């Protein structure tokens, strides 16, 4: 499989395993002849990755920020299976009703908590039956320790504008969908964020994530205490 270069850059961080899993979810069903929408696409890095490496699909990116879409268009000129639009997803796209085979969003659902039902209704209507909406690396807030670490990093400007998602938010977003699945990460491995980079190796990062996977498997009630999660919402026919 072909992954974004950003995965290699994050190989020794807590981001690597959750983002690799997220992109595995996106890639696993194949792309031939499919229409894919990236919401909150920013400057189009991931949309460009998809369009260039999987030319049999049609990729669309949308973002509120006009300047980011202008940058995306500049960076991606000449890619014929890729289009960008600025504005609200409910009005910015020329085709939106049951048009897309996949919608994916990276680290943005936690910024939509003031209108979860409205956003989910729009995304649901855009998906074809038997298709998915995938959210990659969303922060969860049930673990008080990691929530405190995140708040400390916010105060130090190491993170910007980071809020947390809770199960009640995910449940609220899921109302129009038939099913949702939460894939938690970073129960213990989130400690990699506060360790000096010089102490972290690929081997250590893998061990932490392996231990996390065992804990989530055998003690499932701890799943909501992961610091981050990938979330899949499924629309059935």
Are 236 and 178 in contact by the 8 Å Cβ rule? The answer is yes
pLDDT, tens digit, 9 for 90 and up, residues 141-187: 998 887 777 777 667 665 565 678 999 999 999 999 999 999 999 89
- Mean pLDDT (the chain) is 87
Whether 233 has a pLDDT exceeding 60, the answer reads yes
Chain centroid to Cα 54, Å, comes to 19
Q: Is the dihedral of CA 70, 121, 109, 160 positive or negative?
A: positive
Query: What integer pLDDT is reported at residue 164 of this predicted model?
Result: 85
Going by C-beta distance under 8 Å and a sequence separation of 6 or more, which residues neighbour residue 95?
none
In order, the DSSP letters of 170-192 are HHHHTTTSSEEEEEEE-SSGGGG
Q: How far apart are CA 20 and CA 9, in angstroms?
A: 12
User: Whole domain around residue 20: which residue ranges?
Assistant: 5-235
In Å, how far are 41, 200, 203 from 207, measured between CA atoms?
32, 11, 6
The pLDDT assigned to 167 comes to 95
CATH number at residue 175: 3.40.50.150
Residue 5's pLDDT is 65
**Number of domains within the chain:** 1
Q: How remote is the C-alpha of 123 from its chain's centroid?
A: 14
Q: How confident is the model at residue 57 (pLDDT cuts 50, 70, 90)?
A: very high
pLDDT tens for 104-122 read: 999 999 989 889 999 999 9
Q: Which residues contact 136 (CB under 8 A, 6 or more apart)?
A: 18, 19, 22, 23, 25, 26, 104, 105, 106, 107, 230
Q: What is the per-residue pLDDT for 191? A: 78
Distance CA 86, CA 38 (A): 12
Provide the pLDDT for residue 137: 92
């Amino acid at each position: 499989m072909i992954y974004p270069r950003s995965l290699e850059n994050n190989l020794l961080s807590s981001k690597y395993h959750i983002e690799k899993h997220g992109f595995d979810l996106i890639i696993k069903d194949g792309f031939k002849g499919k229409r894919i929408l990236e919401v909150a696409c920013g400057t189009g890095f991931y949309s460009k990755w998809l369009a260039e490496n999987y030319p049999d699909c049609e990729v669309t990116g949308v973002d509120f920020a006009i300047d980011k879409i202008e940058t995306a268009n500049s960076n991606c000129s000449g890619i014929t299976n890729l289009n960008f639009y600025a504005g609200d997803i409910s009005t910015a796209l020329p085709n939106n009703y049951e048009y897309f085979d996949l919608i994916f969003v990276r680290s943005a659902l936690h910024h939509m908590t003031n209108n979860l039902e409205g956003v989910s209704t729009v995304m649901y209507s855009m998906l074809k039956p038997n298709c998915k909406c995938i959210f990659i690396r969303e922060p969860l807030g049930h673990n008080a320790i990691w929530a405190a670490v995140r708040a400390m990093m916010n105060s130090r400007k190491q993170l910007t504008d980071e809020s947390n998602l809770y199960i009640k938010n995910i449940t609220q977003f899921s109302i129009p969908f038939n099913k949702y699945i939460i894939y938690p990460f970073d129960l213990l491995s989130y400690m990699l964020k506060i360790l000096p980079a010089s102490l972290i190796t690929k081997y250590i990062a893998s061990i932490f994530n392996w231990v996390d996977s065992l804990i989530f498997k055998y003690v499932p009630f701890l799943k909501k205490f992961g610091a981050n999660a990938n979330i899949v919402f499924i629309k059935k026919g």
